[in-house]
Chain A
Amino acid sequence: MDVPAESEPSGQSGSPVSPALPAWTELALDDVSMTFNAGKAGEYAALTNTNLRVRRGEFYCLLGPSGCGKSTVLNLIAGFLRPSAGTIRMGDRRIVAAGTDRVVVFQDATNALFPWLRTQENVEFGLSIQGITKDDAADRASEYLDLVGLRDHAHKYPYELSGGMKQRCQLARALVIEPEVLLMDEPFGALDSITKRILQGELLRIWRELGMTIVYITHDVSEAVLLGDKVAVMRRGPGSSIKEEFVVDKLHPRKSTDEAMVALYARVEASLQQEVGVSLDAV
């Protein structure tokens, strides 16, 4: 199979269920459908024949209008949900449950962090339940708290942290167990715009340093094109799937005023605009 080309329409049925994957593949969704409450009242087909390939080490942005099933894709990859049809693979393994190779950073940090544990203890959680000794876990947690710049706040409880610091804590907690894929569900969506930009920069720095694969969900076009190697636009639900993919080949740091970036932004937004159905240019 070839590298998914830019703007290649995906989501077509008829492709083989489990084609052999090229070595660069980190994640593969093949003809994945997800229907909630199947056969019951409130049946809802969130995804229909969704196909996607994420390369190892890639920063993959999933962009779509509200309610289009972005989070469903992420929950499927995370293993929190099982697809109604189709396969989800990581390398050559099928994903059937949550695992430490794919860790999620949630938008709702208040509920995602464990409120009775200090920042340091939150980061140690994934290590200590694996049976790693307290000293080793503490050392490694400290290392990652340094990486995200939370060293001075290690003793605080989550409620004592600002929104941005909570997301740094979630990031450290996820990275400390060294996952291959970081799944981020609108992680900076609830932050003010300045904090958001700072954290976007930090995330890119950490991504370059550690080289993990990132699947990043957002509804913000500028965030997607500024961060991603690839930006996938999803169709409007129900029965959503990947509509088209855009490759962003500009090196970081990217300037949103750069001519090529402006042009790309316009194309991605036009693609999204078709799915939203309502004009985004009213203001």
Chain B
Amino acid sequence: MRSRLLRFLGRVATTAISLSLALLAWAAFAHYFAYPDLVPTPLATFETGAQMVRSGALLDHVAISLQRILVGYGAGCVLGIAIGTLMGRIPIVAQFADPLLQLMRPISPVALVPLSIIWFGIGDLSRYFIIFYAVVIIMIMNTAAGVAATPNIRLNAAKCLGARPRQVFLHIVIPSALPYILTGMRVALGFAFMGIVAAEMIAAQSGIGYLIMQSRTLLRTDIMFVGLVTLGVLGAIIDGCFKLAINRTMKRFMEHQVNV
């Protein structure tokens, strides 16, 4: 108990020191080397941010971006897990889908922005699509790998204990694939955060990506920094919560799954 507390305090201390040092370096750079218009100081960024929080503008942008991420990410996860499961279970599906996936994998979501605007218009649908695309490929690949990696012995053990195919799938294949699926979901969340900026940079009137793009035309690097910091902080917080939720509820599936 004591050692766990110490370890936790240690982590808090290193995190605090790491962030303070970065902040100091930023402040020193902005203060001594750069034009204030190009690199705002941390304090200026904070003041702009505080003002935007007070006016409610920042929260509006955050809310709309999160809502877009939620829809695109949710759809990408659901479809990715479904397709990945089919690929992992049915070899012929994997053989047909794999070349296509390998071709799509290097195509960045940013490259699809113009096409998605032509296809889905300038509304939210095209933005959902960009985030969906950023998420779905990695979810397919991770799920397929996890489902296919279920040890044969484990499947056979369940079969001779009386499990029907549906039960083998629900009680053995899915739990065996969970570490891969959940890890994929964490990585995909990062991809979704990268995708949202691409999706909102063109033809959007709201969201953090729009905020960053807009501040370029206004030459307001301080707002730009607020946008960037917001993205980083939001992403880190959500990932932390995700990790915590996995550790709390899925620990038995995440640990000690030995695939020899």
Contacts and interface: CB of A to CB of B under 8 A. Distances in A.
Interface of A: 75, 78-80, 97-100, 102-104, 106, 108, 110-117, 125-126, 129-130, 157-159, 173-174, 177, 183
A157 B252 contact: yes
Contact of B160 (A100, A130, A158): A100
Nearest to A170: B157
B256 A111 contact: no
Given A108-B153, A129-B167, A115 B160 contact: no
A111 B161 contact: no
A177 B162 contact: yes
B159 interface: yes
Nearest to A173: B161
Contact of B257 (A112, A115, A126): A115
Interface residues of B, number: 24
B256 A98 contact: no
B258 A112 contact: no
Contacts of A125: 158, 161, 171
A129 B163 contact: yes
Q: Which among B159, B161, B257 has the highest number of chain A CB atoms within 10 Å?
A: B161
A111 B153 contact: yes
B195 interface: no
Given A126-B162, A129-B161, A116 B257 contact: yes
Contacts of A114: 154, 157-158, 172, 175
A207 to B, nearest CB: 19
A177 B157 CA distance: 13
B15 interface: no
Contacts of A97: 159
A104 B157 CA distance: 7
B46 interface: no
B160 A116 contact: no
B258 A104 contact: no
11 contacts: A78-B156, A99-B160, A100-B162, A103-B160, A113-B157, A114-B158, A115-B257, A116-B175, A116-B257, A157-B256, A159-B256
B260 interface: yes
B161 A112 contact: no
A177 B252 contact: no
B123 interface: no
B151 A129 contact: no
B157 A112 contact: yes
B256 A112 contact: no
A106 B258 contact: no
Given A111-B260, A112-B154, 6 more contacts: A98-B160, A100-B162, A103-B160, A106-B153, A125-B161, A177-B161
B260 A108 contact: yes
B253 interface: yes
Nearest to B157: A112
Contacts of A173: 161
A98 to B, nearest CB: 4
Contacts of A183: 160
A234 B15 CA distance: 64
B160 A79 contact: yes
B171 A129 contact: yes
Interface string B139-172: 0000000000001011011111111100100011
B161 A100 contact: yes
Interface string B113-131: 0000000000000000000
Contacts of B154: 111-112, 114
A111 B258 contact: yes
Contacts of B163: 129
Contacts of B256: 115, 157-159
Q: Which 7 A-B pairs have the closest CB atoms?
A: A126-B161, A159-B256, A98-B159, A111-B151, A100-B162, A111-B153, A116-B252
